[in-house]
Amino acid sequence: MNSMANDVLVIGAGLAGLTTAWQASRHGKGVRVIAKGWGATHWHAGCVDVLGYWPVDSETPATNPAATLPDLLAANPQHPYALVGLARLAAALGGLQHLCSDAGYPLVGSLDKNWRLPTAVGAARPTCLAPATMIAGDLDDDTPMLLVGFKQLPDFYAHLAADNLVQQGIPARHVVLDLPALAGRNFTTAVNLARFMQQSDFRAAVAQAVKPHLGKAARVGFPAVLGLEEATAVHQDLQVQLGRPVFEIPGLPPSVAGMRLHRILKAAIEKNGGQVHEGMEAIGFAADGGRVTAVHTETSGRPRQHRYEQIVLATGGILGGGIVTNHAGEVCEVVFNLPLRHPENRLEWFRRDFLDKQGHPIYRSGVSVNENFQPMDGRVLYQNLYAAGSTLAGFEAIRERSFDGVALATGYAVGNLVSN
Amino acid sequence: MANNIWQAQLNIEAHTLKPVELTLDHCIKCNICVTACPVTAVTDLFPGPKYVGPQAGRFRHQGQPSPDHSVDYCNGCRVCNMVCPTGVKIAEINGRARAHIVQSGQVPLRRKLRNNLIARPELMGKFGQPLAPIANGLLHSGFGRFFAKLLLDIAPNAPLPRFSGERFSRWAHKRRDAVRSDRKVVYFHGCSTEYFEARVGKAAVQVLEANGFEVIVPSQNCCGLPLLSNGEFAAAQAYHESNIRHMVDYVKQGYVIVGTSTSCTLTLKEEAPEMLAYHTPDARLLTANTFDIHEFLVHLLDAGELKTDGLRPMPLTLAYHPPCQYRAHRLGRPSTEIMALIPELTIIESQAACCGVGGTYGYKAEKYDITMAVGKPLFDFVQQVHGPIAVCDSETCRWNIAAATGVPLVHPIELLAAAYGYEPEGPLAEVMT
Ligand SMILES: Cc1cc2nc3c(=O)[nH]c(=O)nc-3n(C[C@H](O)[C@H](O)[C@H](O)COP(=O)(O)OP(=O)(O)OC[C@H]3O[C@@H](n4cnc5c(N)ncnc54)[C@H](O)[C@@H]3O)c2cc1C
Ligand code: SF4
Ligand code: SF4
Ligand code: SF4
């Protein structure tokens, strides 16, 4: 069957790791992805945020990332976007759009414009690429909307979102459904609701219950639960039944929209002959002559060795578990113990205010790399080791809203580098 | 690491494992586990891993009643552990919570009796196998099943296996001196091979011998997993201690233990020590030197020592389900790597999380429907691949898939043995003629 060569080992299955593996496997490389568990794909909104705010303390969102990015690169030449370059960033976005379209789940948008999509509490969220299932919620359009909640889904507060939108000048109302199909439950999760949504009789019941409340609403918003594998069909069917545009609003984890991207990328890797193994935690490595010769993973009995030509570290930063901190003030990378850039002193980790507009210095911690994404300590540490995604140093992802864009672009770049 | 893969590793670090309950502090409440749990997906009776595991775990304290009985609907598949990004041992937290419920006498008598019976395949085997024709007749008759449901709440349609005509260990004993070698391995057959599917053990012995090993089959007990998953910890510990006594001397002589039942090997390696918090030096030696057979073969392959020449082609397209209890070893998919060596064999891997049977879970009348709902995507997949047989490493899994689909199931080691030229038995024999 698949006796592929041991070309590329990717550690981490978030957006960065999966993108790396997708690109490398597309070029015919034998790829294995190992991951301790699933990553931020299951938390984030299922969109691709490239640059939401710049400068980071800006009050107003960036409307056109392509126009703002050159300023960012000039101010921060160490930023991962600077290493990738704008051309490769655009290619990465285009590549993902292409993949998702082929999978029947189009991502809409371009670098020239940020959408302004509503969050679960009705704030405006700048994002670059969003699934077609979310676009009708754009707040540049001020036509009236109806937001639909479910009594059994405590993670979506339709009334709160509607109130907030009204305050921003968007006519919004809400309704909370209590459907017979869910009546026996105290609560349900977004994922179970998404499975229900794939059943046509459930959808018909939803449409039936919403119709009396439509009034003047020109569009109808739901929490992001409109199907898993069949999201596009579910979305279209609801639009037909309700006779107007329908949109999804991503909310608390788990993120159904993020899971769709995870599925599409994983399927692409496996179709190209690659393997994706979850539940495998990298705990150590062996090196010889400036090369990593093996990565060790924890198993039920004893460590397993993975011998691959090229190794890509995509374990996420502090939030993803690839970098850990302790109260003694130490900051460590967990697999290779790579040298990190981080605040010297623990007192400098955080600013005083939780929502400080500059962000917190500790979240800029990470691995320093050269233009080929090889970890550096003045010199290249291992000839065959690369790093991608949030594990990289020197950017304020939370304030910039650049987590997804950096993960996608650096994963794309590294996936192509290791294929040459 | 030892020089050779077949040499036991005797330098074991002292144990530093924390009680599984402490891992709940790592939970960041991300809900990823809830998205993956196959039981939550099909029933309202089970709110999901996060809720019954790390969440309810905060309220469980020695000497106090458990706050949440829905934990009993966890089938132990460990899918949640595999996807959790922070390493919470959810399935083990659930298993220990269930044991607490059992130990504090909160299970009704009839259910307790039933759980204790179905959790003892060794006992059933010892009594049933010598009477194989009668026992098979009774167990598979509508009459027998009716009374099993009436008296003991055993699901009338649950997949019961058939006793073999000859116990595996008798067969092994008769040919004890057939092969002599300095390279020795110990074979752990488990209950299913011993009483129900001797052909799996024969195939394993053939493959190991073809690679130059002398195979030792020591006397042994059930690994204790069914007892563990029914919360009967004292009885499980007695089995585990007995297995250590029977096998640890071989390990100390430098021989490793190889098994064909993925759930037995997982229990010897990890489940028994963790669930029982039983980490004696001998238990640690067993953990470090027990292998699933395909894990062992992959090590041989990596070292260039696996016999891969002259394999007989098998022009078949077969569905393969890597069982959840195998994925839980965190080894990747070693059986797939080995089956890939067989010429002309096309293996299509299932993406299904679990077949639903969860060892003894699916034999319980109150859980049978959940089992079938969990397994449905897998059953559909097996039927869609439309092979004459399908492949799976785990025995209860094989029986469940076969009962649900009508497709006979084999262990992957049977394929390799046949590719080595050995005469297959059972469903594979019919396909190969
Ligand atoms: C995905 C997600 C969704 C969430 N959703 C919600 C929500 O909707 N509503 C809500 O209210 N909450 C929510 N939470 C939880 C909420 O964010 C956290 O529970 C809360 O921030 C915890 O704050 P804390 O300070 O108590 O604990 P933490 O932020 O965990 O801080 C614990 C602190 O204790 C320190 N510490 C630990 N051990 C020691 C030691 N031995 N010595 C010294 N220091 C020690 C740690 O270093 C850390 O600084 C969510 C969390 C996540 C991850
Ligand atoms: S072990 Fe399986 S059934 Fe139990 S909570 Fe975890 S995923 Fe669900
Ligand atoms: S996946 Fe792990 S961290 Fe997330 S909710 Fe479940 S147990 Fe907690
Ligand atoms: S029989 Fe197989 S798939 Fe089913 S629960 Fe057991 S190991 Fe999992």
Position A115 in a domain: no
A279 and A395 co-located in one domain: yes
The CA distance from B107 to B409, in Å, is 35
pLDDT in tens, B115-166: 888 888 888 788 888 888 887 887 778 777 777 777 778 888 888 788 888 8
- Within 8 A by CB and 6+ apart from A339, the residues are A367, A368, A375, A377, A381
Task: Report which of residues A344 and B314 the model is more confident about.
Answer: B314
For residue A264, which amino acid is it?
I
Beta carbons of A17 and A11 less than 8 angstroms apart: yes
* Mean per-residue pLDDT over chain B, rounded: 91
Ligand nearest to C-alpha B357: 4
**Range picked from A63-67, B19-23, B57-61 for highest mean pLDDT:** A63-67
Residue A109 domain-assigned?
no
B399-425 pLDDT, tens per residue? 999 999 999 999 999 999 999 999 999
Give CA–CA dist A252/A190, Å, rounded.
9
Q: Which residues of B touch A315 (CB under 8 A)?
A: none
User: Does residue A210 form part of some domain?
Assistant: yes
Q: Whose CA is nearest to atom 1 of ligand 4?
A: B397
Longest Cα–Cα distance of chain B, Å, equals: 63
Task: Tell the residue nearest (CA) to atom 4 of ligand 3.
Answer: B30
Q: Which atom of ligand 3 is closest in space to residue B83's alpha carbon?
A: 1
Pairing of strands A366-367, A340-341: antiparallel
The average confidence (pLDDT) of chain A is 95
What's the CATH superfamily of B20-103? Alpha-helical ferredoxin (1.10.1060.10)
Task: Tell whether ligand 4 has an atom less than 6 A from the beta carbon of residue B394.
Answer: yes
- pLDDT at site A90: 97
pLDDT of residue A19: 98
Mean pLDDT of B37-50: 91
What average pLDDT does range B69-94 have in this prediction?
93
- Cα separation, A31 vs A311, whole angstroms: 10
Residue in B330, B331, B332 nearest the CB of A275: B332
- Cβ contacts of B245 within 8 Å, gap of 6 or more: none
Distance from Cα A9 to the centre of ligand 4, integer Å: 29
User: Is residue A279 located within the same domain as residue A234?
Assistant: no
Q: What gap in Å lies between CA A209 and CA A206, rounded to an integer?
A: 5
Query: Residue A222 Cα, ligand 4 centroid: separation in angstroms?
Result: 36
CA dihedral A119, A123, A127, A132 (to 10 degrees): 50
Is residue B272 pLDDT above 60, yes or no? yes
Question: How would residue B15 be classed by pLDDT, with cut points 50, 70 and 90?
Answer: low
Q: Taking Cα atoms as reference points, which of B382, B83, B377, B81 lies closest to residue A262?
A: B83
> Number of structural domains, chain A?
2
Clarify whether residues A63 and A192 are in a common domain. no
Number of A/B CB contacts below 8 angstroms equals 102
Give pLDDT, residue B14: 64
pTM of this prediction?
0.91
CA of A240 to the centre of ligand 4 (A): 42
Helical ranges in B289-348 per DSSP H: 293-302, 324-327, 334-339
Contact flag B330-A297 (C-beta cutoff 8 Å):
yes
A211-253 per-position pLDDT tens digit: 999 999 999 999 999 999 999 999 999 999 999 999 999 999 8
A402 and A270 both lie in a single domain: yes
What CATH code is carried by the domain that includes residue A200?
3.40.50
Clarify whether residues A229 and A365 are in a common domain.
no
Does the Cβ of B397 fall within 6 Å of ligand 4?
A: yes
Task: State whether the beta carbon of B124 lies less than 6 angstroms from ligand 2.
Answer: no
A240 and A268 in a single domain? The answer is no
Query: Do the strands B214-216 and B184-188 form a parallel or antiparallel pair, or are they unpaired?
Result: parallel
Residue B428, both tokens? 């594979």
Query: Are residue A15 and residue A91 in the same domain, yes or no?
Result: yes
Grade residue B114 by pLDDT with cuts at 50, 70 and 90.
confident
Q: Is B74 in the pocket of ligand 2 (CB under 6 A)?
A: yes
A86 pLDDT more than 70? yes
DSSP-assigned beta bridge partners for residue A262: none
Q: When comparing pLDDT for A169 and B131, which is higher?
A: A169
% of chain B exceeding 90 in pLDDT: 67
Single out the residue of A386, A387, A389 nearest to residue A409, CA to CA.
A389
- The ipTM, to two decimals, is 0.89
Q: Domain check: are A149 and A245 in the same one?
A: yes
Report how far ligand 3's centroid is from the alpha carbon of A288 (Å): 37
Does A23 fall in a domain?
yes
> Both A149 and A82 in a single domain?
no
For ligand 3, what atom is nearest to the CA of residue B26?
3
B130 C-beta neighbours (distance < 10 Å), count: 11
Say if residue A275 is in the same domain as residue A232.
Answer: no
pLDDT at residue B3 in the model: 59
What is B316-432's CATH number, 1.10.3470, 3.40.50, 3.30.1660, 3.90.220? 3.40.50
A217 in the same domain as A173: yes
Q: Peptide bond preceding A254: is omega within 30 degrees of 0, i.e. cis?
A: yes
Which residue among A187, A275, A299 places its CB closest to the CB of B331? A299
Domain interval for residue A272: 8-104+262-292+306-417
Any ligand 1 atom below 6 A from CB of A253: yes
Residues A49 and A92 in one domain: yes
**Chain A residues with at least one Cβ partner in B under 8 Å:** 1-3, 32, 34, 36-39, 42-43, 184-185, 187, 189, 191-192, 195, 252-254, 259, 275, 277-281, 297-302, 304-305, 307, 320-321
Which pLDDT tens digit goes with each residue over B171-184?
A: 999 987 788 899 99
The confidence score (pLDDT) of residue A386 equals 98
Q: Judge whether A127 lies within some domain.
A: no
Sign of CA dihedral A165, A167, A173, A175: positive
| Centroid of ligand 2 to alpha carbon of B74 (angstroms) | 5
Task: Report the CATH number at residue A390.
Answer: 3.50.50.60
